[in-house]
Structure 1
Amino acid sequence: MTGRPEDAVAELRELGVSTVYEASGRQGLVDAEYHQLVPGSRAAGPARIALCGQNDNRAVHEVMDRLQPGEVLVLTMPEPAPVALVGELLLTQAAARGAVAVLVDGAARDIEVLREFDVPVWCRWIRARGATKTERGEIDVAVQMGGTRVAPGDLVVLDSDGVVVVGPADVPAVLEASKARFDKEEAMRTRLQAGELSYDIHGLRREDTKAS
């Protein structure tokens, strides 16, 4: 792959979660349901991670000092729970630091206000229940979310279909495979619009004939 890393990030963002997931060999899916607070939003960027203490968001306050422009802020706890790890004031900080998205493996609150920010949020729950600030937690460590390991610097892609994670070393290959998959689907769409059936395009009819 040639070009700048930020170009690859932008291309994967536009190709979308489902395409990137399939092109990755069905790897990296964060297999959990998230509220996409801004309908139609999409984002991609390297992960900046805060592993909070259980039901505590002190680590979210601490990680803001390390957050860099273009990053996806990833917030999680040992066990996901409907406790608000982020609200208006913390998202204000994330926006000022240049975050492109926030992924919360917990709850968010101040939802009507959060929807007005340029930084889109994905969260497991919407709850007013507040977090404590007594446990320091950990910053920039690998975490497990939805059955997938997310490490600092991994590329996180988010859209209406969910979340997928790509390791930095895999980005060039996944990008090429994603573009090839997109082109293949565009060609298939043309054939379907012309009246062909996916049953025949995929050769399933022939397989059924052989089986019989």
Structure 2
Amino acid sequence: MSDRYDELARLGVATVYEASGRQGLVDEELVRLVPGSAAAGPARIAVCGPADNRAVHEVAARTQPGDVVVLTMDSPVPVALVGDLLATQLKTRGAAGVLVNGSVRDADALRELGLPVWARWIRVRGATKAHRGAVDVPVVVGGTVIHPGDAVVLDGDGAVVVAADRLDAVLAASRRREATEAEARRRYLAGALSYDLYGYRTADAQPA
């Protein structure tokens, strides 16, 4: 299983998104805390109470090696759901990455820690711990439904989600797309133009 997630991370968000039929885009501006990082794994989800991160402590206790931890609120606000200490726990538990539909803080320490983290905001405003929230329930982030166990892919382009029951089909389609793009790149390096290869020159030609 981990080999499939490693390959999704290598293939990247753009390729997986296109190969999946342009489904699963997490349509939010995300800050990638660790430059150059990429991650993929099954979603481990926490839904926090309003401006509260108690659920993050619970999901940390449930995190398994390779999980991508998805943290959100019903109405996201720029309150820090994760800082250095919680991120340290998640890394120690073996999380592959963290997607925060909220804020993080201790940004410099998080970069030094090296756990791949994506967040909507960097803010120091602290969260309360008064609401248990919910763990491993479906959520909507950036217009996309994420179920526990769905594949979450993260890189410099943001995030995309692949439903667990489509994982093998989307992975195969992503491999095919990668091969097609490699051939196109070879031709462009040799001087070909997409304007010609796609037939746009003929279509755009004006009648004499």
For the aligned pair, the TM-score class normalised by the smaller chain equals over 0.9
Following superposition, the deviation at residue 192 of structure 1 comes to 0.7
Quote the residue 1:21 is aligned against: 17
Q: Give the conservation status (yes or no) of the 8 Å contact 2:34–2:115.
A: no
Contact (CA 8 Å) 2:34, 2:114: kept in 1 or not?
Answer: no
Q: Tell me, which stretches of 5 or more residues in structure 1 are unaligned?
A: none
User: Does residue 1:37 correspond to 2:33, yes or no?
Assistant: yes
CA–CA distance in structure 2, aligned partners of residues 195 and 133 of structure 1? 59
Instruction: Provide the residue aligned with 1:99 in structure 2.
Output: 95
Q: Which amino acid aligns with 2:161?
A: V
Aligned to 1:164: 160
Moved over 6 A (4+): none
Counterpart selection for 2:77 from 78, 81, 85: 81
RMSD: 1.3
Cα contact 2:24–2:160 (8 A) shared by 1? yes
Cα distance between partner residues in 2 of 1:194 and 1:13: 29
Residue 184 (structure 2) pairs with residue 188 (structure 1):
yes
* Aligned pair partner of 1:122 in 118, 125, 129: 118
> Quick one: which amino acid aligns to residue 142 of structure 2?
G
What is the CA-CA distance between 1:204 and the residue it aligns to? 1.6
Are residues 8 and 211 of structure 1, via their aligned partners in 2, closer, same or farther at CA, if it must alter by over 3 Å? Answer: farther
The one-character-per-residue Cα deviations of 1:138-180 (angstroms, maximum 9, x if unpaired) are 1100000000001100000000000000011111111111111
In structure 2, what is the equivalent of residue 6 of structure 1?
2
Q: CA deviation at 1:206?
A: 2.7
TM-score (norm 2): 0.97
User: Offset of 1:54 from its aligned partner?
Assistant: 1.1
- Report the more deviating stretch, 105-114 or 201-210: 201-210
SS in structure 1 of the partner of residue 174 of structure 2:
helix
Instruction: Note closer, same or farther for the CA distance 1:210–1:174 as it changes in structure 2 (3 Å cut).
Output: farther
Contact 2:46/2:135 (8 A) holds in 1: yes
Whether 1:140 aligns to 2:136 is yes
Matched, 1:155 2:154: no
State the distance in 2 between where 1:195 and 1:92 align.
Answer: 49
In structure 2, the gaps of 5 or more residues are none
Q: Distance in 2 between matches of 1:55 and 1:64?
A: 18
- Secondary structure of 2:113's aligned partner: coil
1:66 — aligned with what?
62
In structure 2, distance between residues paired with 1:175 and 1:92: 31
- Please report how far the alpha carbon of residue 119 of structure 1 lies from its aligned counterpart in structure 2 after TM superposition: 1.4
Residues 103, 203 of structure 1: CA spacing in aligned structure 2 closer, same or farther, 3 A cutoff?
same
